[in-house]
Amino acid sequence: MHRIITTIYWLLALSYITSTLTTTYSWSFLHKAAPILLLGVIVWKRASLSTRWWLIAGVLSSAAGDMLLALPLKHSFILGLSAFALAHILYSKFLFGWRNLNRLNLLTVSLFSAYLVVMLFLLLPAVGSLRLPVIGYFVVISVMFISALAANTQGYALRLGALLFLVSDSLLAINAFITPLPLQSVLVMSTYYAAQFFIVTGCIQLVKEPKGD
């Protein structure tokens, strides 16, 4: 990714993260989504990017999720959760063409399964009526994560992005349902912006490499 665009992305992300430590303002939902929308422009400009529409749609769905969670709507959490769930489905669809299940190993799958069991054990008693949406969200983010691990690429950006997305969502869930975290907005948003950056970077790198069987 071009150095200038990368710099702009991180400046936008840093400015929003910093703003979460101060007073809220009416257009914060646009500020929050601005770095992700920039990623969408980057993918759009990659005219030769195979099946780029799935990736663009995933990025735009993520931006919609950012705005929905930031807006003072009655059902903003469910709407935002749904948008991010759709983003994970679209990312998974993009990655499907580069799947190579031989890249998965027992240790990684076992560790991820243990993570899921622990998170659901902690969250389900605390989420009340949101139990089904939360379970559904963990299903789709699991599909995205496994798809990233199974992608036929020699780079690490994609896997790092998927891992950081798990970290960000886990921190968000723990803060929302289990216990407040210090500087939660900084922790959640910094890992989130890094996750999106590395996922898109990894997907762009992916198309330059052979597809899986």
Question: Tens-digit pLDDT profile for the chain (213 aa)?
Answer: 577 888 999 999 999 999 999 877 788 999 999 999 999 988 888 756 667 889 999 999 999 999 999 998 888 999 999 999 999 999 999 999 888 888 899 999 999 999 999 999 999 999 999 999 999 999 999 999 999 999 988 889 999 999 999 999 999 999 999 999 999 999 999 999 999 999 999 998 887 765 655
Q: Give the distance from CA 11 to its chain's centroid.
A: 19
Cα–Cα dist 195/192, whole Å: 5
Domain edges within the chain: 3-206
